[in-house]
Structures are given as structure tokens and as C-alpha cells.
């Protein structure tokens, strides 16, 4: 599976599992155990939208694109500047 396919699968799989709206893809990395894709999901809408709460999730997809694992890494407000995300 190529990078673009891994990202597409992650964009499809996690919203279907969590029933949350996808905000965006932050990163993707191929490791021995599969693709690690980090995405943001809107966990709570707010007015103004700069106050939305976004959950940052790391997904692991196997080489066939199946969701093997996901974990919420943190929650942030949309207006917070993200410095960096460390991959283990």
C-alpha cells in the first residue's frame, strides 16, 4: 500500500468508527507494524469555530489498509498552535 492509499483509508476508517467529523491529516509514517497515520477529528463544535475541540488520533493500518489500532493522543482547541508531534 502506498502513502496516498494509507491516508485515504485512515480518512475513511476512523470517522466511521468514532462518528466524528474529520478535520485533517497531520502525518503518516510507514513502520514495521504498518502505517501510522495521525489525524485530527472534531470532538466538539463551538462558536466561534476557533474554539472547536480537536482530538488528535494515531491510527495503525496493516499493509492491506485494515484498521488495527487507534489511540487518542491529545485534545486541543483549533486556535492552539501545534508545535510538533513525535512519532515513537
Q: Taking 70 as the threshold, does the pLDDT of residue 7 lie above it? A: yes
Confidence tier at 83 by pLDDT (50, 70, 90): low
Residue 88 within any structural domain of the chain: no
Number of domains into which the chain is organized: 1
Residue 86 within any structural domain of the chain: no
pTM: 0.85
Compute and round to an integer the Cα radius of gyration of the chain.
13
- Span 43-66, pLDDT tens digits: 999 888 888 999 999 999 999 999
List of residues 6+ apart from 30 with CB closer than 8 A: 3, 6, 36
Residue 85 within any structural domain of the chain: no
Amino acid at each position: 500500500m502506498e502513502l496516498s492509499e494509507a491516508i485515504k483509508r485512515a480518512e475513511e476508517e476512523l470517522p466511521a468508527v468514532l462518528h466524528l467529523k474529520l478535520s485533517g491529516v497531520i502525518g503518516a509514517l510507514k513502520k514495521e507494524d504498518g502505517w501510522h497515520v495521525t489525524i485530527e477529528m472534531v470532538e466538539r463544535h463551538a462558536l466561534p469555530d476557533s474554539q472547536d475541540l480537536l482530538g488528535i488520533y494515531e491510527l495503525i493500518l496493516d499493509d492491506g489498509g485494515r484498521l488495527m489500532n487507534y489511540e487518542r493522543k491529545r485534545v486541543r482547541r483549533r486556535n492552539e498552535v501545534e508545535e510538533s508531534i513525535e512519532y515513537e
